[in-house]
């Protein structure tokens, strides 16, 4: 098992490129199952979640090649239809095979999902959507077993108690593209990653309209064809790298990103006091001596993303005054806070709120990551802290950030990966 050893307190400045979106790549890889033949997907990040999804596809009898961020997926005429526990427990996104295999094969057996321990994420909306399209679904011995002869389009509502669901929207959309008739998804998630999957499906011959809106219209087609497609930039990695530079008092020119997907994050950075210049596919950010605390309300897109909450808590720990971050999506997503407190942060948790009183310094310490974005938050705290930190369980980080230590070293960080 690896860990990071980080010597903090060094200004990070320079230029970096953004990697492709992990949260787009995973469902797009699965959506390729809907067309027999060879599909090529570009700008795929070289992260462990992608490598794990490759194993899932190979288990389903698909041939996959991955080289220099290009995935080549050869889909056979006959697919497997079982995604076993050993795969799905390691990565929640494995459940995307449900939508593709229901649409393509009319049957699927999928173990109930695992993933980061950040709170309850039931799949009831996914199952509701499949049932309304005509699937017979049973839960047996920890598996979801879905069977259907022919999916029929229908108008359905997919919002739950916490709003729209990215996973359910994508899964039901994948199932519906080969259905009979028209499916209308109301309450659809509008995250850029949902739109990316929809655009990928359209490049295969699907007929999806209403993209970027909460009402998706899907006209079923008889078949889809293989395609070539380029994945959007990763807005969460982009946000994390911007914070990495300014938390150390540095500056960064970030290229190959999509600022239009990051509006609220950029506005919050401006509100804190950082200087930002935005181009078509680049962002320049510079630190400032005059920073002020902010309040953040975490909600589904287009509002502040839950996947940037932890990183901003690290940042706000060093901003004088009191900031309040309200997490309204996942109830267990403050597990990084006790580790930040060990580094000298002054944070109090009250229900779904983190109350952050800025301190002048953080101090290096041995800490342990609990999930993907918590890992990023601890790295950010460590590069800003005085002294040396050790971050354990960085396998969480490897799930979603491509060579983050190499990128940080490129702009001046003293970070090394060592075996425990």
Which residue is catalytic, options 116, 135, 148, 257? 116
Confidence of residue 113 (pLDDT cuts 50, 70, 90): low
Residues 6+ apart with CB under 8 A from 43: 19, 20, 69, 230, 231, 232, 233
pTM for the predicted model, two decimal places: 0.95
Residue 412 in this model has a pLDDT that exceeds 90: yes
Highest mean pLDDT among 5-19, 118-132, 136-150: 5-19
Residues 6+ apart with CB under 8 A from 379: 4, 6, 244, 391, 397, 404, 408, 415
Q: Which residue in this structure is represented by tokens 């499916």?
A: 183
Confidence of residue 119 (pLDDT cuts 50, 70, 90): very low
Is residue 116 among the annotated active site residues? yes
Sketch out the chain's domains with CATH numbers. 2-18+233-419 (3.65.10.10), 22-226 (3.65.10.10)
Confidence of residue 116 (pLDDT cuts 50, 70, 90): very low
Return the percentage of the chain with pLDDT > 90, whole number.
87
Residue 162 in this model has a pLDDT that exceeds 80: no
What integer is the mean pLDDT of 401-411?
A: 97
Judge whether 22 and 45 are in contact, CB under 8 Å. Answer: yes
Residues belonging to the chain: 420
What integer is the mean pLDDT of 15-21?
A: 98
Residue 288 in this model has a pLDDT that exceeds 70: yes
Q: What is the pLDDT of residue 420?
A: 83
Q: How large is the C-alpha radius of gyration of the chain?
A: 21
The closest alpha carbon to 21, from 45, 57, 54, 50, belongs to: 45
Residues 6+ apart with CB under 8 A from 393: 1, 3, 368, 369, 370, 375
Judge whether 113 and 139 are in contact, CB under 8 Å. Answer: no
Between 207 and 111, where is the model more confident?
207
Burial 126-139 (b: 16+ CB within 10 A, else e): bbbbbebbbbebee
Judge whether 307 and 373 are in contact, CB under 8 Å. Answer: yes
Rounded distance between C-alpha atoms, residue 159 and residue 285, angstroms? 36
Q: What is the pLDDT of residues 181-193, one digit of tens each?
A: 999 999 999 999 9
| DSSP at 146 | E
Q: What is the pLDDT of residues 356-373, one digit of tens each?
A: 999 999 999 999 999 999
Q: What is the pLDDT of residues 229-278, one digit of tens each?
A: 999 999 999 999 999 999 999 999 999 999 999 999 999 999 999 999 99
Residue 121 in this model has a pLDDT that exceeds 60: no
| DSSP at 153 | -
> Tokens for 113?
């999902």
Residue 203 in this model has a pLDDT that exceeds 60: yes
Rounded distance between C-alpha atoms, residue 90 and residue 54, angstroms? 13
- Phi, psi angle pair for 36, to nearest 5°: -70, 140
Q: What is the pLDDT of residues 303-360, one digit of tens each?
A: 999 999 999 999 999 999 999 999 998 777 899 999 999 999 999 999 999 999 999 9
Q: Which residue in this structure is represented by tokens 């960085």?
A: 394
Beta partners for residue 4, in sequence order: 391, 417
Three-state SS for 24?
A: helix
Q: What is the pLDDT of residue 108?
A: 95
Q: What is the mean pLDDT of the chain?
A: 94
Beta partners for residue 304, in sequence order: 298
The greatest distance separating any two alpha carbons of the chain, rounded to the nearest whole angstrom, comes to 64
Beta partners for residue 137, in sequence order: 146
* Interaxial angle between packed helices 22-31 and 97-105, expressed in degrees from 0 to 180 and rounded to the nearest 10: 20
Burial 261-270 (b: 16+ CB within 10 A, else e): bbebbbebbe
């Amino acid at each position: 098992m690896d860990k990071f050893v980080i010597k903090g307190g060094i200004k990070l400045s320079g230029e970096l490129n953004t990697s492709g979106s992990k949260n787009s790549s995973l469902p797009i890889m699965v959506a390729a199952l809907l067309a027999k033949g060879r599909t090529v997907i570009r700008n795929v990040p070289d992260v462990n979640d992608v490598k794990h999804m490759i194993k899932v596809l190979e288990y389903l009898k698909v041939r996959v090649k991955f080289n220099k961020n290009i995935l080549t997926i050869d889909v056979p005429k006959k697919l497997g239809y079982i995604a076993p526990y050993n795969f799905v427990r390691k990565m929640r996104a494995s459940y995307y095979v449900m939508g593709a295999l229901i649409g393509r094969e009319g049957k699927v057996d999928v173990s109930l999902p695992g993933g980061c321990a950040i709170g309850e994420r039931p799949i009831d909306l996914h199952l509701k959507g499949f049932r309304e399209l005509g699937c017979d679904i049973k839960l047996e011995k920890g598996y979801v077993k879905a069977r259907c002869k022919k999916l029929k389009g229908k108008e359905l509502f997919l919002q739950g108690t916490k709003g729209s669901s990215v996973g359910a929207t994508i899964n039901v959309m994948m199932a519906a593209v080969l259905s009979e008739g028209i499916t209308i998804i109301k309450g659809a998630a509008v995250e850029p990653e949902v739109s990316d999957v929809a655009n990928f499906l359209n490049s295969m011959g699907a007929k999806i309209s209403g993209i970027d809106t909460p009402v998706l219209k899907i006209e079923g087609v008889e078949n889809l064809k293989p395609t070539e497609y380029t994945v959007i930039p990763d807005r969460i990695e982009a946000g994390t790298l911007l914070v990495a530079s300014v938390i150390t008092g540095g500056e960064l020119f970030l290229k190959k990103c999509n600022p239009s997907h990051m509006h609220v994050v950029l506005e919050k950075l401006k509100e804190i006091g950082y200087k930002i210049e935005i181009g078509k596919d680049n962002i320049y950010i510079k630190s400032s001596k005059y920073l002020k605390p902010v309040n953040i309300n975490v909600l589904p897109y287009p509002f502040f993303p839950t996947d940037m909450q932890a990183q901003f808590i690290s940042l706000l720990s060093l901003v004088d005054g009191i900031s309040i971050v309200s997490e309204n999506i996942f109830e267990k997503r403050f597990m990084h806070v006790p580790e930040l407190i060990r580094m000298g942060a002054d944070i109090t948790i009250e229900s779904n709120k983190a109350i952050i009183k800025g301190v002048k310094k953080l101090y290096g310490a041995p800490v342990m990551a609990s999930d993907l974005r918590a890992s990023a938050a601890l790295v950010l705290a460590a590069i800003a802290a005085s002294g040396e930190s050790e971050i354990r369980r960085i396998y969480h980080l490897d799930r979603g950030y491509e060579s983050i230590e190499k990128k940080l070293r490129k702009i001046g960080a003293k970070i090394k990966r060592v075996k425990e």
